[in-house]
Structure 1
Amino acid sequence: MSTATLDRPRVNSTAPFTARPRPSQPAHVIRDDAEAITVAHRLAAEFRTESALRDREGLLPLSELDAYSQSGLWGINVPKAYGGAGVSYATLAQVIRILAEGDSSLAQITQNHLALVAHIGLDGTPAQQAELFGLVLQGIRFGNAFSEKNSKNVAAFETTFKIEGDTAVVNGQKFYTTGALLAHIVPIVTVDPLEGKGYLAFADRNADGLTVLNDWSSFGQRTTASGSIQIVDVRVPLSRLVPVAAFDRPTAAGAISQIIQAAIDGGIAAGAIAETIAFVKNRSRPWIDSGKETAAEDPFTISAIGDLTLRLHAAEALLERAGRAIDLALAEPNEATVNAATLATAEAKVLTTEAAIAATNKLFELAGTRSTLAEHNLDRHWRNARVHTLHDPVRWKYYHLGNYHLNGVHAPRHAWS
């Protein structure tokens, strides 16, 4: 651990934070699914090294994020027609799960970027697709200015724009802006007050009037820097105003957003199980009544590890199944294929949530009291699972699944379904 590492900017700081520089050279372009998975494993191993330190000290992952976006993984769902790999969404989910096992905060920073890349493909004009996909392949990171803290619900937006010449002038406030602090471009969800239609305004991170605050204070997913944004007369060229219309017709947009969330939770579960196994084998003592020489020989511990592994593998299988359903919905968009993708992804989200909560709870039960010591910072797994699984409550997933199978009612089409 170097002094330079500890000198990094920290989360929830009042110190001014300027926009990150754009990459000095183009990002690597990943060519296929196999390469994406290989790169993900390499980066996850690197990210895991100081993940506990970054969480404990609240250090923003600046160099790690640069390595991540330059690796080409931020462009893997750019269509092949525009120079990307156009990977299967089963592969994309596997990539995010692998990365989240290394550091779930870094994996989450990508979530909105990848969903936005998909949205550009669904709602952007050919000219917008050519420009924005080109930027992604160069290594430009999209942030997120979507949710609002004080609106009636997650789909109610008070951020609006007016048109002046060839420019949209945007005003509003945003919260839960994962990725925006460290982005190069911040897409803002904004509403035309006259027609009530939603748009994405792709604003430069350093645009006048756009202030991204480093005020994320959650106890979990700490280094995502998911704070707030103030938007005062931010000017965005009309050419970068993309309609939000994908939910008005059958598309896989909602399922794409959700499968990435589910993959993050699957990665948290995998990381916690790996930490549990390592701690039990190397640090824990056997319980006095077991009669065993090592904690790893305790029959109840062995059984619990088997149960957790089974749950994780079931969740991973549903992630792959959901990814294939999304691929089909993209290739053949209609009510049936989109609903099937939505429900398959909902099932994956339920199981990854349950696996993450179970694994991060069992970690301490199986590893013992010494696993709670601050020096290990293993509670970060539970904190991360508890916070991230609050994204899109699974109680509603059960409802939509049951309502379809019992009553034939399709799941709603939106980013949280």
Structure 2
Amino acid sequence: MGTLPQTKIDYSIHPRVNSTDPVAPRPRPTTPAHIVKSDAEAIEIAERLAEKFKVGAALRDREGLLPIAELDEYSQSGLWSINVPKAYGGPGVSYATLAKVIETIAAADPAIAQITQNHLAIVGTIDLDGTDEQKRDLFALALSGIRFGNAFSELKSKNVAAFETHVVFDGDQAVVNGEKFYTTGALLAHVVPIVAVTEDGQAYLVFADRDAQGLTVTNNWSSFGQRTTASGGVRIDSVRVPKARALHVTSFEHPTVAGPVSQIIQSAIDLGIARGAIEDTIAFIKTQSRPWIDSGKETAGEDLFTIAAIGDLEIKLHAAEALLEIAGRAIDVAEADPNEATVAEATIKTAESKVLTTEIAILATNKLFELAGTRSTLAEHGLDRHWRNARVHTLHDPVRWKFYHVGNYYLNGVNPPRHAWN
């Protein structure tokens, strides 16, 4: 806690967010990534990395510095392949463990955690929709330390599921044309999976190398929150990819865990934002806040109303934490035995989790300033990043629809729809 670290950075060479300067594709790792051996090891690695990532989080946010060195260490740690199935050489950890890993990283720096989101969701999609040959090929890349970005959402289409990016097949090649936005992870990825549809509406995930001819990644993410995710745009001009790396996506046409897997990662990020904000609130109150004059107390931490408010935040944080784990276990069950009942249960539990993590993220980041006092808003502390990150990231998949689907499930027995945002 305290003022921003005065780390010296050569801004003339360090890539920054929302810049017109080109960012060269990241070199592929020269040594294989670590392979995680167990759920416990995954959490231990996440905790160790989080301690390091937290140190520069406020500085990176303030200066708009892309977390390049941090990402390299993160993907080499083995945490980017923890949901590769054991049958293909991965650890195949519980989705409750995966959520805990993401929450831990997000509490330190939610931008770094969000960059992982699409990669892990794509690993899950490979498992659900890939042929055996594609699984062996693409899982091997993930296990070696290759990072998948994403070219999924589109800025100008009618809604999030109306894709205008198209793929045609020319012999043994897939040819893709289109434009994407909100492409978190693409800028610093080694491979950019592109969602595209055929003329008759079939969906494909086309894995293009980051330096493929015709693929242009734009560093133009200008949001006030989650600034250093570099979630800009991707332009795809007749990008050619081997047909073997065009994965036909059918996982939403029948019961699978595709939706809940994507959603639980989002929920874990929000929970991490809340945890980080509460930790900083407590630290600030203990070290820098003054007691309110009417309290009659010597320190801010003795204020009765402040004590009660911290208690309320911790209780709601722990409730969200518990439901996140319940959702992860429900996904594990549905993954092992996918059917209408198990997938609906996993989807609903994950939706419930996302409601609570959204609420605690917004509440905690608001309460930070109320409880810590006016001096906590000074730029030197960089605490405004918590509210900005929470406000922006919780816009992903609006929870107002989660309430509806959860209520309809319990009241009327109606299973929630299956798509990537549910």
Matches within 5 A, 1:201-220: 201-220=206-225
2:135 aligned with 1:129, yes or no?
A: yes
- Partner in structure 1 of residue 197 of structure 2: 191
- Partner in structure 1 of residue 153 of structure 2: 147
Mapped partners of 2:327, 2:371: distance in 1: 32
- Partner in structure 2 of residue 246 of structure 1: 251
Give the count of matched residue pairs: 416
2:318 aligned with 1:313, yes or no?
A: yes
How far does residue 18 in structure 1 lie from its aligned partner after superposition?
1.3
- Partner in structure 1 of residue 65 of structure 2: 59
- Partner in structure 2 of residue 97 of structure 1: 103
How far does residue 228 in structure 1 lie from its aligned partner after superposition?
0.4
Residue type of the partner of 1:36?
A
- Partner in structure 2 of residue 109 of structure 1: 115
Mapped partners of 1:5, 1:142: distance in 2: 27
Mapped partners of 2:9, 2:296: distance in 1: 46
- Partner in structure 1 of residue 77 of structure 2: 71
1:273 aligns with one of 240, 265, 278? 278
2:144 aligned with 1:138, yes or no?
A: yes
How far does residue 347 in structure 1 lie from its aligned partner after superposition?
0.3
Secondary structure at 2:122 match in 1: helix
1:180-229, CA deviations, whole angstroms, 9 ceiling, x for partnerless residues? 00000000000011x21000000000000000000000000000000001
TM-score normalised by length of structure 2:
0.98
Residue type of the partner of 1:286?
P
Matches within 5 A, 1:7-406: 7-193=13-199, 195-406=200-411
TM-score normalised by length of structure 1:
0.99
Mapped partners of 2:35, 2:167: distance in 1: 35
Cα RMSD over matched residues? 0.7
When structure 1 is superposed on structure 2, of 156-165 and 382-391 the one drifting more is 156-165
Mapped partners of 2:326, 2:13: distance in 1: 43
Given that residues 6 and 59 in structure 1 are in contact (C-alpha distance below 8 angstroms), is that contact kept between their aligned partners in structure 2? no
How far does residue 3 in structure 1 lie from its aligned partner after superposition?
3.0
- Partner in structure 1 of residue 3 of structure 2: none
Residue type of the partner of 2:374?
T
Mapped partners of 1:190, 1:410: distance in 2: 27
Secondary structure at 2:348 match in 1: helix
What is the percentage of aligned positions where both structures have the same residue?
Answer: 70
- Structure 2, unaligned stretches of length 5 or more? 1-6
